[in-house]
């Protein structure tokens, strides 16, 4: 079938796809995480009948509705961009993953319907049996969102580790599928937890009444606890993911860990360390601002902060200096022995997770003792600092999220693949320019979506 060549650089298409895909996934992951946090919060509200849980659940519902609307738009943008810029790739992947794609769309439809019902029927669902029905809406929304994510993870993991290449069920349960999905579970909870905490922080800074300040302070701490807790699990799941990538697609693993794009992994490591560090600083403020903090905290907190600081620095150390852009202008050294994964980065990760977990337990205890009186008694200035930290965490999470997405896509793209061992970037070139042999004969390019 004749198509017109786009007549632009392939890079333009890559930028367009990357931008739309990252924007889309930023909101999609927020929806998955926030619907789950919303469901838990709504359940707490249902069980305890505490007013602040109900208010927080409604805030989450509002965020969910707005982000659902946004993502549906970005979904349209992504589909349009793929159709225009990468039609050959898009039809190839669509033929292989036809049912997962349809399943994802159907489940997103379910998520949208239930999330909207949850938010817009808030007053309706306040009494009697309707309370249960109203609670069911958010759990159904969360269930749909999580299953939709599973469907997309099938496709995303297949693109990196399609083993074997053309076998239906093996395509679905490819070597990295489950690990990617699990990684995203916790990643989404981290992102949504910190993002909601950031929203609460903004609410705090803008609030004019003590009631509002108390609510946003407590809401911010609650969402922070979820985000920080999930963040601590990430290295464990991430390790498993990388392990299966190593066996499933060694070339991609090498590219990310030791090769051309290893510096990107160092950026992710730096951001992870920063997240744990800023989170720990927040916890110190949180614990110290409460009356009668536990006596062990005065010893543990400073020690924990020192260990986390050192571990964060060690984790961010690059091993392959030669691959860091522009660094060769400053040094001829190619290797930094301190940046080795084994044993240094493992030590660093262990330190971050173990001491981070200790801090999290202190934070949990402090949150349990939080009351309106204790919040209002906090010295002026501290809550504002805490709000700033929450916003910093939200900002850092956006960056680490985008960086991690970039790492995964780089693992394929740097080696020239759109789908590993199935389709190369080269295969899409004809969409952009006619080959020299075709130039004189026709102004069009030939495209056959059925061709394999």
Partner 1 sequence: MDMMTNSSFWVALFSLAHITLASLGVGFMVLAPIAEGLGRTRPHFTDVAYLITRFTLVTYTTSIVLAVFMLELFIGLFPLTNSLLFNHFRAPLHLALVVFFIQLLCLYPYYHFWDWFRSKSITWHIVLGGAAAALILVWAGILDGIGSYMLTPVEQETGWARLWNPTWLPLMVHRFFGNLVIAGYVMAAYAGWRLWNNRHLGNDAGYYLMVLKTGMSIGIVSLMIQPVSGFVYAYQIQTVRPDVQQELLAGGSIILVIGQFILLALLLLGSHLIFRSVHVDRGHSYLGEGLYVLMLCLLVVLAPFPYYRRLISLIVLVQTGWYLSYVFPVWIRHSTPSLNTPFVHGSVMVLGAASLILYLTMGTIREVARGPDTIYGIIEHQTESPERNEAFHAP
Spatial distance between the Cα atoms of 177 and 164, rounded to a whole number of angstroms: 13
Whether 273 contacts 316, CB under 8 Å: yes
Shortest distance, position 364 Cβ to partner 1, whole Å: 34
Shortest distance, position 180 Cβ to partner 1, whole Å: 20
Sites for partner 1 among residues 172-191 (CB under 8 A): 172
Spatial distance between the Cα atoms of 437 and 440, rounded to a whole number of angstroms: 7
DSSP string covering 68-79: HHHHHHHHHHHH
346 near partner 1, judged by CB under 8 A: no
Sites for partner 1 among residues 371-400 (CB under 8 A): none
Q: Running DSSP on this structure, what letter comes out for residue 164?
A: S
Nearer to partner 1, 11 or 380 (CB): 11
Shortest distance, position 14 Cβ to partner 1, whole Å: 16
Spatial distance between the Cα atoms of 46 and 26, rounded to a whole number of angstroms: 30
Question: Which of 26, 112, 196, 404 contacts partner 1 by CB under 8 A?
Answer: 112
Shortest distance, position 365 Cβ to partner 1, whole Å: 38
Stretch that binds partner 1, among 85-93, 203-211, 230-238, 387-395 (CB under 8 A): 85-93
Shortest distance, position 151 Cβ to partner 1, whole Å: 12
Question: Which of 10, 77, 370, 414 contacts partner 1 by CB under 8 A?
Answer: 77
Shortest distance, position 270 Cβ to partner 1, whole Å: 33
419 near partner 1, judged by CB under 8 A: no
124 near partner 1, judged by CB under 8 A: no
Stretch that binds partner 1, among 1-9, 254-262, 326-334, 336-344 (CB under 8 A): 1-9
95 near partner 1, judged by CB under 8 A: yes
Nearer to partner 1, 168 or 379 (CB): 168
Shortest distance, position 84 Cβ to partner 1, whole Å: 5
Question: Which of 27, 53, 108, 265 contacts partner 1 by CB under 8 A?
Answer: 108
| Residue linked to tokens 């709000």 | 387
Q: Compose the 303-332 pattern: x for residues touching partner 1 by CB under 8 A, - for all others.
A: ------------------------------
CB under 8 Å to 101, separation ≥6 — which residues? 94, 151, 155
Distance of CA 430 to the CA centre of its chain: 33
- The H helix count followed by the E strand count for the chain is 16, 4
Whether 363 contacts 225, CB under 8 Å: yes
Count other C-beta atoms under 10 Å from residue 74's C-beta.
21
Stretch that binds partner 1, among 81-89, 246-254, 313-321, 341-349 (CB under 8 A): 81-89
The SS3 of residue 379 is coil
Cα angle value 205/206/212 (rounded, 5°): 90
Q: Compose the 149-168 pattern: x for residues touching partner 1 by CB under 8 A, - for all others.
A: -------------------x
Spatial distance between the Cα atoms of 270 and 318, rounded to a whole number of angstroms: 10
Whether 434 contacts 4, CB under 8 Å: no
| Residue linked to tokens 């995964």 | 408
Q: Where are the alpha helices (H) located in 289-381, listed in sequence order?
A: 297-316, 346-368, 372-376
| Residue linked to tokens 């997103």 | 108
Per the document, the length of the chain is: 452
Stretch that binds partner 1, among 47-55, 84-92, 271-279, 282-290 (CB under 8 A): 84-92
Shortest distance, position 133 Cβ to partner 1, whole Å: 17
Stretch that binds partner 1, among 80-88, 185-193, 348-356, 418-426 (CB under 8 A): 80-88
Distance of CA 267 to the CA centre of its chain: 15
Cα angle value 282/283/288 (rounded, 5°): 105
Percent helix / strand / coil, the chain, rounded to 5: 80, 0, 20
Sites for partner 1 among residues 3-42 (CB under 8 A): 3-4, 6
Spatial distance between the Cα atoms of 149 and 71, rounded to a whole number of angstroms: 13
Nearer to partner 1, 90 or 282 (CB): 90
Nearer to partner 1, 16 or 40 (CB): 16
Question: Which of 80, 124, 173, 247 contacts partner 1 by CB under 8 A?
Answer: 80
Whether 175 contacts 434, CB under 8 Å: no
Nearer to partner 1, 1 or 379 (CB): 1
Enumerate binding residues for partner 1 (CB under 8 A): 1, 3-4, 6, 66, 68-70, 72-73, 75-77, 79-80, 83-84, 87, 90-91, 94-99, 101-102, 105-106, 108-109, 112-113, 116, 120, 168-169, 172, 447, 449-450
């Amino acid at each position: 079938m004749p198509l017109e060549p786009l007549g632009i650089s392939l890079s333009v298409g890559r930028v367009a796809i990357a931008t739309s895909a990252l924007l889309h996934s930023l909101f999609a992951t927020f929806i998955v995480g926030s619907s789950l946090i919303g469901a838990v919060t709504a359940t707490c509200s249902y069980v305890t009948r505490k007013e602040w849980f109900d208010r927080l659940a409604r805030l989450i519902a509002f965020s969910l509705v707005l982000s659902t609307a946004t993502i549906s738009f970005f979904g349209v943008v992504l589909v349009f961009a793929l159709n225009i810029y990468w039609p050959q790739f898009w039809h190839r992947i669509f033929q292989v993953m036809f049912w997962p794609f349809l399943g994802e769309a159907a489940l997103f439809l379910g998520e949208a319907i239930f999330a909207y019902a949850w938010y817009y029927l808030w007053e309706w669902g306040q009494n009697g049996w309707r309370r249960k029905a109203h609670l069911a809406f958010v759990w159904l929304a969360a269930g749909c969102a999580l299953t939709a994510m599973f469907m997309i993870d099938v496709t995303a993991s297949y693109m990196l580790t399609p083993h074997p290449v053309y076998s239906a069920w093996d395509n679905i349960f490819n070597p990295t599928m489950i690990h990617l999905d699990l990684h995203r579970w916790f990643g989404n909870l981290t992102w949504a937890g910190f993002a909601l905490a950031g929203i609460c922080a903004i609410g705090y800074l803008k609030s004019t009444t003590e009631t509002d300040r108390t609510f946003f302070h407590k809401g911010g701490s609650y969402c922070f606890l979820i985000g920080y807790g999930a963040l601590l699990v990430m290295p464990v799941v991430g390790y498993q993911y990388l392990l299966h990538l190593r066996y499933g697609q060694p070339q991609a693993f090498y590219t990310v860990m030791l090769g051309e794009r290893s510096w990107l992994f160092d950026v992710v490591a730096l951001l992870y360390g920063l997240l744990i560090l800023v989170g720990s600083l927040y916890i110190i403020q949180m614990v110290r601002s409460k009356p009668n903090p536990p006596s062990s905290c005065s010893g543990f907190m400073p020690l924990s902060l020192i260990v986390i600081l050192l571990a964060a620095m060690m984790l961010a150390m690059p091993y392959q200096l030669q691959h860091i852009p522009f660094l060769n202008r400053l040094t001829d050294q190619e290797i930094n022995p301190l940046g080795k994964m084994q044993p240094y980065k493992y030590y660093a990760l262990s330190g971050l997770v173990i001491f981070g977990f200790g801090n999290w337990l202190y934070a949990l205890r402090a949150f349990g003792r939080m009351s309106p009186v204790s919040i209002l008694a906090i010295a002026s200035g501290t809550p504002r600092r805490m709000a700033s930290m929450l916003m910093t965490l939200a900002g850092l999470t956006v960056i680490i999220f985008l960086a991690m997405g970039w790492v995964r896509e780089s693992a394929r793209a740097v080696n020239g693949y759109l789908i590993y061992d199935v389709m190369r970037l080269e295969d899409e070139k004809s969409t952009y320019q006619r080959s020299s042999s075709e130039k004189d004969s026709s102004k069009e390019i030939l495209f056959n979506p059925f061709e394999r």
